[in-house]
Structure 1
Amino acid sequence: MNLNKNKIYIYFLFFLTASVYAQEQKKDSTSVEKLKEVVVVGESNVMSVSKKLFTVGTIKRKDIENVAGNNLADILFNSLNITVNPDASNGRSTVSLFGLDGQYTKILIDGVPVVSDNGVGNNIDITQINIDDVERVEIVEGSMGVLYGDNAVAGVINIITKRGLRDNGWELQLSLQEETVGNEFEFFDRGRHIQNFRVTNQANEKFSYSFGASRNDFAGFYNGYQGKNYFATENGLIKNDSLRGTEWNPKEQLTVSANADLDVGKHNFFYKLQYFNESLDIYNRIVNGRYENGQLNPTAVDQNYETDRWVNNLNISGPLNGATNYNVNFSYQNQKRRYKEYVYNILERREESVLNDAVSQSSEVWYSKGFVNNIVPKSDFFNLQLGYEFTNQKGFDAIATGDYSSDVVENTITNYEVFGITEFKPTKKLSLNPGARFTSSSQFDNYLIWSLSSTYDFTEKLKLKAVVGSAYRAPNFEELFFYFVDANHNVRGNPDLKPEDGISVFVNLKDNYRIAEEGYLSPSFNFFYIDLKDAITSVTAEDDDGRILYTQDNIDYSKRIGFSLDNSFIYKNWNIGLGATYLGVTSSINEELENDNDYLWSLNFQTSLAYKIDKWNTTISSQLKYTGKTQGIFSDENDELFIGETEAFTWLNASIRTDISTRLSATLGARNILDVVNINTRSSAGAHTNSTSGSRLIGNGRSYFLKLTYNLNF
């Protein structure tokens, strides 16, 4: 994606400034809001079942605006049981829920799994998910395999798109955001520069549509490195001091989306079209020195990864007969990731020649999910929900370096699934909800995913929820079919991987107190236990020719157990959140060789504070999160696996959001105030390993941002 950054920025700034001073009729603030009648909206029917059976947290639109969130990574940092894991080398950030990585958490947009570099719905790069057209984000904790299929072991993150306006008419929204990266900032060249544009038209009570675009330019994190055009000399020769490039690779993202929402009688049709483009640059630290016509002409072999993704989602919902409703999703998504390796002329600042230019990853996904719920509406004792899910993924996956040929082999995974959830209410307070999903896969044996959920209402506000069920995860496309072999590399997926299996238990006790005329306290206590058998991890082995092979394999087990307490306190203009989780994790690479299987315990702590100053239309907010030491599986300098831990760290953000006028608002804030950059990883010496240590880049330092948003309704 080649964009003139200077022109885009100047045009956008001019457009925003001109719009602020544009003359339009002021909206009557005393008008009565007319609410649109909705029978079923997107995935809300499934989510309402989830809220009944599982613990569900919601990040609302106002929470997103208070922290100036642009992508999903911006807003998940402060969620109690979620850790965002960034990787500076490839620019990806994934989530970890209850100590389980992104393979175990399913990410959906309006109930449809998101296609990514690595699979469908799992291990998603959350920096690629733009949230400017998002109404809310729902986080469902607990094993959700019956409702959402394999790989929803730790939970589900469902992103709900905005739909229409409250009143007929138009809404125009523009925003401009400038952000430092640590202490680094220059217009156009350093820092983070974001522009958003969105138009929505509520044509009438039955039909609305919208169009929007967002550009996110991250110039990278230098952190002492000297950038793309740096080289050093000594005695007239190139001196390779490894300071060229950046610590965190730069990338530029463009998201364009459109949707249409139509009511036909009592039936709703919602269509979403989205295009995403990302360009990621990797600058080689090694500079090649050469002389041409008696003059030093340094070059470097650099890389560029470009991702293109198209998403087409259609949701149809409505009543079948009386209170019985249906909900059907159809989706077609495709993604291609292109790799280019080229010679960059540093002195002339241009691309000199291309060494490799090929598609390194391709995915084409057809998906459909449908269900009918409230099938027995007249019964006070029994009810039923039935549904199906279909996924067909075709493509290939190979790292984008080295030699390419026409021998890339396409693979296909097709899943056919049916599921059902029943509800028994022996009393008004007790509900029992057994459920099952039958999965037939082209890659694995048929499998039955099961769960048993129960709710008990002690009072109208004091409620107990519990769920026990399968912890089933199937290997993703990359783990199975990744293939890259040349003279210097031997990295392959393992098509013989077995799905992980196990059991999960989640218990939640929640209450709600009114402690003053305008004050409410909502405490929530959770217990969870997850036991995974045949857990999948990276290993080293030998291939048929005796060479070292980097691949995937099943290890013995991985377990976690924990408790969390989450409190929400609202009093007048104060909104305070306070929570803590005590998590224990243990893993075994080979249970027969290891006797020390003690849990590594860690404490995670989270607090948030928001205060609204009505007189100034201003909200002040802050979020603090302490992430305790965590256990993981690492490899040493000899590529031997060992079980180690990462040290604890604390993250603090703060912001102030104010309405300058009825149409213009500003958000000023700071991220990572405690200036976290690296955290240490280490292991203890054991019977078969020596003590090892290292570090991992986790943040880009204390950063500051300013966001201006302009809204025009007419």
Structure 2
Amino acid sequence: MSLNKNKILIYFTLFFCSLTFSQVKEKDSSKTEQLKEVVIIGESNVMSVSKKLFTVGTINNKDIANVAGNNLADVLFNSLNITINPDSSDGRSTISLFGLDGQYVKILVDGIPVVSDNGLGNNIDITQINIDDVERVEIVEGSMGVLYGDNAVAGVINIITKRGLKDNGWELQFSLQEETVGNEFEIFDRGRHIQNFRATNQVNEKLSYSIGASRNDFAGFYNGYKGKNYVNIQDGTVINDSLRGTEWNPKEQITVSANVDLDLGKHNLFYKLQYFNEELDIFNRIVNGRYQNGVLNPTAVDENYSTNRWVNNLNISGPLIGVTKYNFSFSYQNQKRNYKEFVYNILEKRTQSVETDAESQSSEVWYSKAFVNNIIPKSNLFNLQLGYEFTHQKGFDAIATGSYSSDVVENTITNYELFGIAEFQPLSKLSINPGARFTHSSQFNNHLIWSLSSTYDFSDKLKLKAVVGSAYRAPNFEELFYYFVDSNHNVRGNPELQPEDGISVFVNLKDNFRISKEGFLNSNFTFFYINLEDAIASITTEDEDGRILFTQDNIDYSKRIGFTLDNSFIYKNWNIGLGATYLGITNAINKSIDNDSDYLWSLNLQTSLTYNIEKWNTSISSQLKYTGKTQGVFNNTNGELFIGETDAFTWLNASIRTEFTPKISATLGARNLLDVVNINTGTSAGAHSTSTATTRLIGYGRSYFLKLTYNLNF
């Protein structure tokens, strides 16, 4: 059955308004939680990012529940300086922070970086990160290379897993979510269908364990295309009208996880095991109309990508000597992607033959990190934290330009890193934290990066924090070792690439005010500056035989500067957030060429509204985000680089969440109410470039969801 988009919007709006205006006078005794910083207190938070060194924003599990978030992409869309970048062809969604793509943002789970197609922790497909067992998501902006190594240039996103229950016993949670994709929905065939299960057992105060499973079935976005089994036959002849397939390719994701949380005296052990599988189908728009035994037998050459990932994370923490504490993490992760090219018989709806079936990508990572803090506990003036990090990556990627290459070369990168952070507290209100990290890599030159952070407390409410730090973005496997050469292609990585060097400055002033007996206002003002040297980009050159070669090289610089004002207002049952960023971006391709590309300035806005209705155990929320123009380096149709712009767009979501009983809750909502589908990108911003205007698909239109959750405690 199909849904009428306009009728649903009218019903949803009327329901939303009636709940709001009928309950304005209701009072909620439990205040809505605001965006706040995370403080490491005791052993339960050893995986968190320290508030002492950085300003940490948090998306808590209530925020996740309000938007019916299933994966990381569902919950990050409303973060002020984060932009989600979906790709309809390969199904990946990556993020950019301050206009820097996912290569510059490190994503962690419980403080451990996540394996991906291209490396460890960077350029992650965030739709592949399930968050049903997540307690909160921490967001830190600015270079964090001293604590988190390479690729933490623009910032870090740290996902904290749930651990145990408050009381001994069992908790079983089941949820079912149905969601339209634009105005497309049919049971099983169209839309988005999600099922979740999680069981947690708090055996006693020292031991808990949990298991869970999730299925996310995205049937694709048709948007006028006719699907997998479409063929246009006229007068016994196949007519190729390019309407077969879907605009966004369908995919199914399954995540299974288990964890154990064990206290051994004063020491804590936490182990997490996770398996992830994704099946991505790509339907060829070209249909082959062949006759077999006098009968028309239309076929198409389709593709399937099957991704399998295993994650084993272990964390042990506790006191070393007295109040001196240690934190040790060990991880083994592997990811393999299989590529299949096959002939699909459209009328018979079956695979007729398989042309290629081979492993196309493999990543294997051994990782360990440990640090000891509070090394000099008896000193009121000076303290120290020391640690190491070890990473060994092995893998290959054999897919290029949509075709499979059998020329596979496996490579390895090993990093040995030492880091330390000192704390000076010359005054009770002033702390100064210098830090440094030394990296020895098997692939690159040795690196020394540094940071300096300082906090001054004018009062309990008014605080000033400044962070200056360096970080580097290491080339990924594809940029270094990619190789796809035949009579029609000459695409190679560049093993001579060196990491990009980045420096950032963040200055944050925060204060909070009591507006009335039941009203509070929290304000944060931040100035930031990010400078990248030797940024990596695609270039066109010649190889040793004079052929055109598509490869990578280090361009000269990319800079960002701006201001952010973020406010959170709480009054009785209302929680209102309003933030704005004024961001300027400039890029240079070659310093030897005069470049008159000034800063392109854009205004980014974010607002959120939540109203709690105590009588109905209901919360109503909405989130609006405006993303201004951004500047970047693009390729034109000839493969040449130019500096271009991406147009602005606005995103609006709304939802209603209610608890019918203590065991049963429901969330009804809409995503992308303004029906954004495409934006323009690539408009030239420089006088020395060849402009190429293209359209990028970023959404699949206004969609609606309903999520039902059942919790059983015993």
TM-score range, shorter chain: over 0.9
What letter matches 1:700 in structure 2? Answer: Y
Q: Is the 8 A contact 1:39 1:266 kept in 2?
A: no
How much does 1:692 deviate? 2.8
Q: Residue 42 of structure 1 contacts residue 327 of structure 1 at CA under 8 Å; is this kept in 2?
A: no
User: 8 Å contact 2:676–2:701 — kept in the other structure?
Assistant: yes
Displacement, 1:687?
A: 4.9
Mapped to 2, the partners of 1:170 and 1:503 lie a distance apart of 48
In the TM superposition, what is the alpha-carbon distance from 1:321 to its structure 2 partner?
1.4
After the TM superposition, which of the residue ranges 426-435 and 687-696 deviates more from structure 2? 687-696
In 1, Cα distance between equivalents of 2:487 and 2:287: 22
Query: Is the 1:42–1:317 contact (alpha carbons within 8 Å) kept by the matching residues of 2?
Result: no
Residue 585 of structure 2 corresponds to 585
Structure 1 residues 202-241: aligned runs within 5 Å = 202-241=202-241
- Cα distance change, pair 382–686 in 1 and its aligned pair in 2 (3 A): closer
Q: How far 1:490 sits from its partner (Å)? A: 2.3
Alignment of 1:674-685 (within 5 A): 674-684=674-684
Contact 1:417–1:439 (8 Å) recurs in 2? yes
Matches within 5 A, 1:318-329: 318-329=318-329
CA RMSD of aligned residues (A): 1.4
Q: Does 1:410 align with 2:413?
A: no
| CA distance in structure 2 between the partners assigned to 1:254 and 1:178 by the alignment | 16
- Output aligned runs, 1:359-370, within 5 Å: 359-370=359-370
Matches within 5 A, 1:143-542: 143-399=143-399, 402=403, 404-405=405-406, 407-542=407-542
Matched-pair contact (CA < 8 Å) for 2:595–2:688: no
**Contact preservation (8 Å) 1:402, 1:486:** no
Deviation for aligned residue 1:451? 0.6
C-alpha distance 289-594 of structure 1, shift in aligned 2 (>3 A)? farther
The aligned amino acid for 2:412 is T
Label 1:343 to 1:498 Cα distance change in 2 as closer, same or farther (>3 A). Answer: same
Rounded Cα–Cα distance in structure 1 between residues aligned with 2:148 and 2:278: 28
Amino acid at match of 1:47: V
2:669 matched residue in structure 1: 669
* Equivalent of residue 47 in structure 1, options 46, 49, 72: 49
The question of whether the paired residues in 1 share the 8 Å contact of 2:644 and 2:685 is answered with: no
Return the offset for 1:38.
8.2
Question: 1:702 and 1:446, CA in 2 relative to 1: closer, same or farther beyond 3 A?
Answer: same
Equivalent pairs, count: 674
Please report how far the alpha carbon of residue 126 of structure 1 lies from its aligned counterpart in structure 2 after TM superposition. Answer: 0.2
1:626 is displaced (CA, Å) by 0.2
Counterpart CA distance in 2 for 1:414 and 1:487 is: 34
- Partner deviation per Cα, 1:68-115 (whole Å, 9 max, x = no partner): 000000000000011111011110001111111101110000000000
> Which one-letter code corresponds to 2:44 in the other structure?
V
Counterpart CA distance in 2 for 1:182 and 1:403 is 33
1:620 aligns with 2:623: no
- Displacement after TM superposition at 1:232 (Å): 1.0
Q: Could you tell me how far 1:404 is from its partner in structure 2?
A: 4.2
Q: For 2:68, what is the secondary structure of its paired residue? A: coil
**Superposed displacement of residue 548, structure 1:** 2.4
C-alpha distance after superposition, 1:179-227 (max 9, x if no partner): 0000000000000000000000000110000000000000000111111
**Runs of at least 5 residues in structure 2 that lack an aligned partner in the other structure:** 1-39
Question: Quick one: distance in 1 between partners of 2:219 and 2:665?
Answer: 26
Instruction: Give a deviation string over 1:605-649, Cα, whole Å, max 9, x none.
Output: 000000000000000000000000111111122222111101110
SS at match of 2:150: coil
Partner of 2:110: 110
What CA distance in whole angstroms lies between the structure 1 residues aligned with 2:535 and 2:58?
30
Please give the alpha-carbon distance, in whole angstroms, between the structure 1 residues aligned to 2:704 and 2:241: 31
The code of the aligned residue for 1:176 comes to: L
CA distance in 1, matches of 2:512, 2:480: 47
Mean CA deviation greater in 650-659 or 685-694: 685-694
**Secondary structure of the corresponding residue to residue 472 of structure 1:** strand
Deviations 1:503-553 (A, max 9, x none): 211110001111111211100001110111100112222222333222211
**Aligned positions of 1:694-709 closer than 5 A:** 694-709=694-709
- Residue 17 of structure 1: aligned partner: none
- 2:561 matched to 1:561? yes
Alignment gaps of 5+ in structure 1: 1-36
The C-alpha deviation readout for 1:359-413, integer Å capped at 9, x for no partner, is: 11101100000000011112111111000000000111121654543x5221110
Alignment correspondent of 1:32: none
SS of the counterpart of 1:479?
helix
Distance 1:525 1:213 in 2: 41
Query: In the aligned structure 2, how far is the partner of 1:603 from the partner of 1:506?
Result: 18
Equivalent position SS for 1:74 = helix
Aligned residues of 1:642 and 1:683 also touching (Cα < 8 A): no
SS at match of 1:480: helix
Would the aligned equivalents of 2:556 and 2:588 in 1 still touch at CA under 8 Å? yes
The answer to whether the Cα contact below 8 Å between 1:467 and 1:506 also exists between their aligned partners in 2 is yes
> Deviation per CA, 1:25-52, whole angstroms, max 9, x where unpaired?
xxxxxxxxxxxx98413643x523xx11
Q: Which residue of 2 aligns with 1:65?
A: 65
| Distance (whole Å) between structure 1 residues aligned to residue 634 and residue 279 of structure 2 | 29
> Within the alignment, does 1:602 sit opposite 2:605 as a pair?
no
Residue 591 of structure 1 deviates from its aligned partner by: 2.1
The 2-side partners of 1:403 and 1:425 are apart by: 58
Per-residue CA distance 1:560-594 (angstroms, 9 max, x = gap): 10100000111111111000000000001112223
8 A contact 1:681–1:694 mirrored in 2: yes
1:96 aligns with 2:96: yes
Shift of 1:660: 1.0
CA separation in 2, counterparts of 1:381 and 1:75?
A: 41
Q: Distance in 2 between matches of 1:462 and 1:53?
A: 17
**1:494 partner SS:** coil
Conserved 8 A contact 1:273-1:310: yes
Cα pair 1:360 1:397 within 8 Å, conserved: yes
What is the alpha-carbon distance in structure 1 between the residues aligned to residue 573 and residue 376 of structure 2? Answer: 44
Distance (whole Å) between structure 2 residues aligned to residue 160 and residue 247 of structure 1: 34
Distance in 2 separating the partners of 1:502 and 1:594: 23
- Name whichever of 522-531 and 396-405 sits farther off: 396-405
Q: For residues 611 and 671 of structure 1, what CA distance do their matches in structure 2 show?
A: 18
Q: Which moved more, 1:558-567 or 1:484-493?
A: 484-493
User: Which AA in structure 2 matches 1:213?
Assistant: A
Give deviations 1:128-161, integer Å, cap 9, x for gaps. Answer: 0000000000001111000000110111100000
Q: Do the aligned partners of 2:46 and 2:317 also contact (CA within 8 Å) in 1?
A: no
Mapped partners of 1:491, 1:691: distance in 2: 23
Which moves more between the two structures, 678-687 or 506-515? 678-687
Secondary structure of the 2:189 match is coil
TM-score, normalised via structure 1 length: 0.93
Kept in 2: contact 1:119–1:478 (CA 8 A):
no
**2:296 partner amino acid:** L
**1:42–1:270 CA contact under 8 A, matched in 2:** no
Amino acid at match of 2:354: V
Deviations, residues 401-458 of structure 1 (Å, cap 9, x unaligned): 54543x5221110000010000001101111100000000000111111011111111
